Chain A
Amino acid sequence: MKLGLVIDLDVCVGCHGCAVSCKQWNTSGMTGALTDYNPYGQDPSGVWFNRIRSYEVGDYPNNKTINFPMSCMHCEQADCVDVCPTGASYKRVEDGIVLVDQDKCMGCNYCSWACPYGARELDRSTGTMKKCTLCLDRIYDERLEEVDRQPSCVITCPAHARHFGDFDDPDSNVSKLVRERGGYQLMPELGYSPTNRYLPPRVTRLIPTEDVSKKSLISSVKEWVNKMVER
């Protein structure tokens, strides 16, 4: 089995819902708590398994905003596992999930250096490395309904931009999506062979932005007055 995520960049709206639900689930899960530093202060920071960044792709007027959620890719060639000197970082043979044994980690940061995707973050309060578990304690929980046995981020996503499944099974939903939509890996040239795939935005008709109607005289005067008046 090769469990992983497919993230549809065409429909991600950048709401950070996956990140928040991930934080909520995993902070009480097997690698929790995910410490927050200075949560009510000037510079709130903390440990997150999921981070969403936004990019502008292309030049105006052919540009597009892409919201880009990233978590652990559960790479097939996981250097984070190889470089770990204590054996705390390991990849499960049965389903390919990469995990950190919190009881063995010595907090040397070496695995985070080896990870090109920024999937690992040191928790300064415990001194151990934390990372996405693919909600291991959820996807195998038989007390949950079948539909709920999915990572928290996948269930939460209001746009259905995230899909979870087994990449080894050619008939799984994730394999089909990758086939149909041209799902790709990030930085394949580094050779980590990440399991997670990204679906590129669909090609659509451009929405014209240049034929916005010209300003009327009255709106120009209003604009000028607004600039002149000190408030």
Chain B
Amino acid sequence: MHPAFSVIGFTVASGAGYGLFILLVLAEVYGFADIDVPVALSSGLLALVLISGGLLSSTLHLANPKNAWRAFFRFRTSWLSREGVFAVLFYPAALLYLIGVYVNDAQPNGLVSFVGLSAVVIALATVFSTGMIYGCLKTIRQWNTALTPTNYILLALATGSVLLVMILAFADKDINAMAGIAIALLALGAIAKAIYYFWVRTVTGPTINTATGFTRAKVRLLDTGHTAGTFLTQEFGYQAPMSLLTQLRVVVFALGFAVPAALLAFMILGLPSGLVALVGVVAMFAGIAAERWLFFAEARHVINLYHGAQHT
């Protein structure tokens, strides 16, 4: 699949935003980090900026954005529609929660916690829907797996947790518990990603034989029937060199998981500097962007079978 930068930017940024908001609420409600009003408001604002920027970026790949408002009405069947509805529902819950925290001076309060936890549920539903947009496609075996929404949720939580540690570090708060959680989430994300990379190597599903119906003999493409590229070759024919894919996997694990986890570990051991956390965040976003690019570049649509691929 052709990796569209608007979609990569959207999934990485809004995923991190939802993850940050989820961990902010959980940290405040269950008290595993020292969340005061400035920390809550700056985290909440950063989360909303990331989410909104991501959602706006996602409209860039629409060919006819003037009809985008119609995208909320197919909630019953379309994951894209569900994602849109949850994304919109998230805003009032999130804003109410932040106002509640501000008014209540970040003290534990049943009503505020309830609103916050509702926002958490909606945020999780949004990220799950984002994953299912890809996970529900039977035409792309690399995506059509429960590993896809799992990956989206785990990476959203991991990126969000590292962002929250950064904010806590800049606010001179105790980061130990949050950094520990962030390391655990990074490890979980890395394990899930590793499982995905092993799983995706096994070829299953349609082949050129079932695509053409000639299952008793070898089938080779003689002629595609067109002299230049078509919509199908542009949208689905993207192929990156194998060496680049392998190198990017190293980047994903090194920058996306290992470097931020190592920096967080140093911070726990007594280097509680906001700048260290910022370096971790930058490395992590580079790694996760590479992960998302690979997610698209490695996905092979079954239409490639008609263009000569033996399997997807």
Bitwise interface map of A from 24 to 50 toward B, beta carbon under 8 Å scored 1, else 0: 000000000000001000111101100
B202 within 8 A of partner (CB): no
**A44-B71 in contact (CB<8A):** no
Residues of B within 8 A of A88 (CB): 67, 70
Residues of A within 8 A of B71 (CB): 85-86, 106, 108
> Out of B68, B73, B210, which one reaches A87, CB within 8 Å?
B73
Residues of B within 8 A of A66 (CB): 212, 214
Known contacts A58-B218, A113-B140; is-contact A82 B77 (Cβ 8 Å)? yes
Which of these binds chain B: A117-125, A140-148, A222-230?
A117-125
> Out of A53, A107, A115, A190, which one reaches B225, CB within 8 Å?
A53
Query: Smallest Cβ distance from A103 to chain B, in angstroms?
Result: 8
Residues of B within 8 A of A55 (CB): 212, 214, 219-222
**A82-B302 in contact (CB<8A):** no
Residues of A within 8 A of B137 (CB): 79, 83, 113-114
B270 within 8 A of partner (CB): no
Expressed in whole angstroms, the Cα–Cα distance for A166 and B62 within the complex equals: 36
B306 within 8 A of partner (CB): yes
Which of these binds chain A: B93-101, B228-236, B241-249?
B228-236
Expressed in whole angstroms, the Cα–Cα distance for A121 and B226 within the complex equals: 14
**A187-B227 in contact (CB<8A):** no
A99 within 8 A of partner (CB): no
Residues of B within 8 A of A158 (CB): none
Give the contact-size bracket for chain B: 35 or more
Residues of B within 8 A of A105 (CB): 64, 67
**B212-A58 in contact (CB<8A):** no
Bitwise interface map of A from 168 to 208 toward B, beta carbon under 8 Å scored 1, else 0: 00000000000000001111111110000010100000000
Q: Which residue of A lies closest to B144 (CB)?
A: A190
Q: Find the residue from B67, B230, B303 having the highest chain A CB count within 10 A.
A: B67
Expressed in whole angstroms, the Cα–Cα distance for A108 and B302 within the complex equals: 19
A212 within 8 A of partner (CB): no
Known contacts A52-B225, A116-B303; is-contact A85 B81 (Cβ 8 Å)? yes
**B228-A44 in contact (CB<8A):** yes
A128 within 8 A of partner (CB): yes
Expressed in whole angstroms, the Cα–Cα distance for A110 and B225 within the complex equals: 25
Residues of A within 8 A of B67 (CB): 86, 88, 103-107
Expressed in whole angstroms, the Cα–Cα distance for A114 and B222 within the complex equals: 26
Residues of A within 8 A of B108 (CB): none
Expressed in whole angstroms, the Cα–Cα distance for A48 and B206 within the complex equals: 25
Q: Find the residue from B74, B139, B211, B230 having the highest chain A CB count within 10 A.
A: B139
Residues of A within 8 A of B139 (CB): 79, 113-116, 190
Known contacts A113-B139, A118-B306; is-contact A53 B223 (Cβ 8 Å)? yes
**A113-B301 in contact (CB<8A):** yes
Residues of A within 8 A of B138 (CB): 79, 114, 116, 190-192
Q: List 14 A-B contacts (CB under 8 A).
A: A53-B225, A54-B222, A81-B77, A83-B77, A83-B80, A85-B84, A86-B67, A106-B63, A107-B63, A107-B67, A113-B1, A187-B206, A187-B210, A189-B210
Given A54-B225, A190-B139, 14 other A-B residues pairs in contact with their CB atoms under 8 A: A14-B225, A38-B228, A45-B230, A51-B230, A54-B222, A57-B212, A105-B67, A106-B65, A106-B67, A113-B1, A118-B306, A127-B64, A191-B138, A200-B213
The 8 A-B residue pairs with the shortest CB-CB distance in the complex, in nearest-first order: A107-B63, A127-B64, A127-B63, A43-B228, A86-B70, A107-B64, A106-B67, A85-B81
